[in-house]
Structure 1
Amino acid sequence: MTFSEHLLQLRKAHGLKQTELAPHIGISWRAYQTYERGHCEPQMSTLIALADFYSLSLDELVCRDWPKEPEE
């Protein structure tokens, strides 16, 4: 799952509209929309706000599998 897909899934699971979520994380809904569509990536401060809002770690928020098995 991509980061943008995950944002969409999280928002819908919480029953929120983009216009409802954006103020909680301190951005405009148009800025949020670009993240959900995969057109831009958020700044670190926005990632932290999203992770805090959803009670996730940054790794969970950005769909990062950690730790990865070392490559041989």
Structure 2
Amino acid sequence: MTRMKELRKKKGFSQVRMQMLTGIDQSDYSKIETGKRNMSFEQCRRIALALETSMDYLAGLTDQDTPYPRTK
């Protein structure tokens, strides 16, 4: 989950800030970020939205960290 950490640091967010943005407890977020815990689909979606990236990027399925265009 180094991609999550890299994006988080690039945006200047702390893990506490990610907790506020995603609703994921900071200790759980830390475990997800270090690979000690898997994230649910919903957690992945919330993290991707907060970091302005795609779920595919977080999962390592693409190397493009920009989000996909959103539909309204």
Task: From the CA coordinates, give the structure whose radius of gyration is larger.
Answer: 1
C-alpha deviation, 1:10, in angstroms: 0.7
The percentage of aligned residue pairs carrying the same residue is 23
Q: Give the number of equivalent residue pairs.
A: 63
User: Are 1:16 and 2:9 counterparts?
Assistant: no
Q: Which amino acid aligns with 1:44?
A: F
TM-score by length of 2: 0.77
Q: Which residue of 2 aligns with 1:35?
A: 32
Q: After TM superposition, which residue ranges in structure 1, 4 or more long, deviate above 4 angstroms?
A: none
| Unpaired segments ≥5 residues, structure 2 | 64-72
| Unpaired segments ≥5 residues, structure 1 | 67-72
RMSD of aligned residue pairs (Cα, Å) = 1.5
Q: Which residue of 2 aligns with 1:46?
A: 43
TM-score by length of 1: 0.77
Identify the structure with bigger relative contact order (alpha carbons < 8 Å, sequence gap 6+).
1
SS of alignment partner, residue 16 of structure 1:
coil
